[in-house]
Chain A
Amino acid sequence: MSASYVAVGWNRQKKIYDWLIAGFCFTYLLLFISVTLIVNEQVTFETLLIRSTSTLAVLLLHVILAIGPLCRLDKKFLPLLYNRRHLGVTMFTFALAHGGFSIFQFHALGNTNPFVSLFISNTNFNSFAAFPFQALGFFALLIFFLMAITSHDFWLHNLSPRVWKTLHMFVYLAYLLVVMHVMLGVIQYENNPVFVIIILAGAVTLITLHLLAGSKERKLDKRKFSLEQEGFMYVCPAEEIEDSRAKIFCIDKERIAVYRHENKLYAIHNVCKHQGGPLGEGKILDGCITCPWHGYQYLPHNGQSPPPFKEKVSTYDVKIIDGKVWLNPVPFPEGTERPGATIK
C-alpha cells in the first residue's frame, strides 16, 4: 500500500517472487530448447523461438488463472496472489514474443501489410476445422496487452476499480481464445495426442478449481438469516468471532464483514476498494482492518483508510443482545463512523 505511485515498490518479498518467476522461465526455456535441439535437431531458430515462448506463456497463464481460486479455497496460497500481476506481465512478454515473431514469420515480406495479411489470408470463418486460428491468438494477445499496460495501481485508480476489474476479467475470454488458438492451430498439425490431453487437462483443472471456489462462496451466500428485529438480523453468537478477525455474512446479496477489535464488534462492507478483495478474510493489524489480497487498510469504526490514504467503504450498525450478534444490513454512506457494539 503506497500513497504515491512508483513503477514497482520493491521489497524483499517482491524480489524473491520475481527471482522465482525468472528462474522458472529460464529453466523452462533452457529445457525446452535444449531437449528439442537434442532430439529434433532439424528445428529452425524461428520455430524454436515461436514454440518455446508460446508454450511457456500458456503454462504461465494456467498458473495465473489457478492462483485466484486456490486462494479462495485456502488462504495459504495468498503469497502467490500479491504479485500476480508480475506473473501476468511476464506471461504477456512471452506471448508478445511469440505473437510478434509469428506475425513476422508468417505474414511479413509478402504482398500486403502483415497485420492486414493476418485477417485476409485465411478467411475460412465458416469452417471450424479450417478456422483462422491466428486471429484468435491475436485477439487474446490484444487483451493481454491491455491488461499488462493497465496492471499498475495508477490505472486501477484512474480507470476506477469497477472498470479495471471488468477489463481484467477479460482474461477468461483471452484464455478461451488461447485454447482455441492452440486446438485449431498447431495441434491439428501434430500427431501426438499428448498435446490435446495437456490442453484439456489444463482446462479441466482450471474449471474444477473455479467451480470449487465458487461453490464455497455460494454456500456462504446462501445462508438464510430469518430472525429479524427492528431491521437487525441475527447472525451468530458473539464468541464465534475471534479477536482481530471477522466473520462474513451475506444479507440481501451484500457481503458484510463483522470484525472484533478491542472487545467491540464493527461491521463494514466486505469488498476492498482496491481490487475487490474480501476484507472479512483479513485481519486487524495496528488497529486497521487489513485486506488479505494486497494489504489495503481501513479503520474498523468508520471504514476509512488511515491518512494519507483516501479509500472508504460502507459501514453498518451492529449490536449484541444476550451474547448474540445482530446486524443491520442497511449500509451507511462510505466512511461513516459507527460506534460498534461492546462485548460484555
Chain B
Amino acid sequence: MDNKEFYIGWMPAAPGGLAKHIRKVVVILIMLVITAGIILALQQKKFSTATFEFGQLTEITGIYQQFPVPSIKAMSNLDASGHSSSLTIPLVGYGKSGAEGIIAELEKEKNTTLDKKTVTFRGTLLYSDGKTLLQIDKNDDPLTKISDAVVNVPPAIKELGTVRLTGEILDPKCYFGVMKPGQGKPHRDCAIRCIAGGMSPVFYVRNEKGEANYYLILDAAGKKMNEQLKDIIAEPVSLRARAVQYDDWIVLYIDGMNKITRTGGLSWFKTKDGDTYCGVSHTINVSE
C-alpha cells in the first residue's frame, strides 16, 4: 500500500493498493466461510430416526387406559396359534401439553368415562426405537368411536424389584418424534415446559451395548410427579426405584426426590453419550 493512499468510504472507489489488499481479505473470508460451513455441518451429532407424522392423521383403535399413563392398548390380530400381542400407545396433547386435559374435555362432551373402553382415536403418530405415541388435538375431532361397555383386559404385570439406573428424564413427545435433538441440554427448557404441561416423563437409559431402554416415571403411590422433577430434567441422573412392567412399558415408582441424584458435570470433551450423558449402571437388581 502506498502511504499516500487514503481510504474514504463515501468516495466512489477505494485506492488501488487498498482495493488489492481488500480483495485478498475477501478471498480469505470466502475460504473461512466455506471451511466453517462444511466443518460445522459435518461435525454435528447424528440425528435420530424418530418420526413425527406432521399433517398426517391416523386412526388407532384399542382399549383406552388411564393408568399408568393415558394410552391406548392396541391389539394385533390373532396369529396362527390364536394369540395376539398388544402395543401400548401413550397419548399426548397438542403443543407442550399432556393428554389429560383433552381426555377430560372429551369425557365431559360425551358424558361418559373412557377408561377401559374400546375407542378409536384420530391423531398424529410419532415413533422411534420401538415406541409409538399418538398426539390428539381437539381440532382434529380426535374421538371417532367409543364403545358403551367396559372391556376387561388387564395388563400383563410383572414386578421387577428395585433398580438403580443412570439416565436422563425427558419428555416423550419431543424425544420420540417432534424435535431433534429431543434430549440433552439444548432441549432442556422445552422438556421442562412439556412435562410441566402434563406430558408423562420418560426415563431414558443407554446400556453398555448402546441400546436404549425407556421407562415411565410415577411416584411411590402411582401418581404423577412432574412438578417435583422440574430441576433435574434433561441432565444425567441416577435413581433408585421399584420397577413394574405393564405390558410393553416399565414403570418406575420413585419414593421421593431423595432417590434421584445428579451424576453429570460439564461435558465438553466427551466422545460418546455413554461417557457422561447416560451412565451404564442400569442393571436391574431384582433381589435388592
Contacts and interface: CB of A to CB of B under 8 A. Distances in A.
A79 B14 contact: yes
The dominant DSSP class at the A interface is: helix
Contact of B44 (A82, A107, A190, A283): A190
A183 interface: yes
B29 to A, nearest CB: 6
Contacts of B156: none
Contacts of A40: 41, 44, 46-47
Interface residues of A, number: 80
A77 B25 contact: yes
A209 B43 CA distance: 28
Nearest to B277: A189
Given A59-B33, A123-B231, A110 B268 contact: no
B185 A186 contact: yes
A106 B189 contact: yes
Contacts of A13: 9-14
A148 B182 CA distance: 33
Given A31-B41, A47-B179, A188-B266, A107 B189 contact: yes
A189 B7 contact: no
Interface stretch (B115-123, B190-198, B245-253): B190-198
Contact of A12 (B12, B269, B273): B12
Nearest to A27: B33
A215 B236 CA distance: 45
Nearest to A77: B25
B188 interface: yes
Contacts of B190: 105-107, 121
Contacts of B198: 111
Interface string B141-163: 00000000000000000000000
Interface stretch (A125-133, A304-312, A317-325): A125-133
Given A13-B9, A13-B13, A188-B266, A106 B193 contact: yes
A187 B267 CA distance: 8
Contacts of B95: 108-110
Interface in A144-199: 183-196, 198
A109 B197 CA distance: 10
A191 B14 contact: no
Contacts of B185: 130, 133, 184-186, 188-189
Contacts of A11: 9-12
Interface string B10-42: 111110011101100110011011101111111
Interface in B165-191: 179-181, 183-190
A191 B189 contact: no
Interface string B259-273: 000101111111111
A43 B40 CA distance: 14
A83 interface: yes
Given A27-B34, A80-B25, A285 B41 contact: no
A300 interface: no
Nearest to A70: B25
Residue from A51, A118, A129, A191 having most chain B Cβ neighbours under 10 A: A191
A42 interface: yes
B18 A122 contact: no
Interface string A67-89: 00000000111111011000000
B46 A20 contact: no
A189 B45 contact: yes
Contacts of A43: 47, 180
A87 B127 CA distance: 43
A13 B26 CA distance: 14
Contacts of A196: 268-269
A225 B193 CA distance: 65
Given A42-B47, A122-B192, A191-B273, A31 B38 contact: yes
B8 interface: yes
Nearest to B233: A122
B46 A124 contact: no
Residue from A42, A46, A188, A242 having most chain B Cβ neighbours under 10 A: A188
A342 B277 CA distance: 76
A55 to B, nearest CB: 5
B76 interface: no
Nearest to B189: A121
Contacts of B188: 121-122, 130
Residue from B190, B235, B265 having most chain A Cβ neighbours under 10 A: B190
A76 B1 contact: yes
B96 interface: yes
B110 to A, nearest CB: 25
Given A75-B1, A112-B196, 13 more contacts: A32-B40, A36-B41, A44-B47, A51-B44, A76-B18, A79-B9, A106-B187, A107-B190, A110-B194, A129-B264, A189-B185, A191-B271, A191-B273
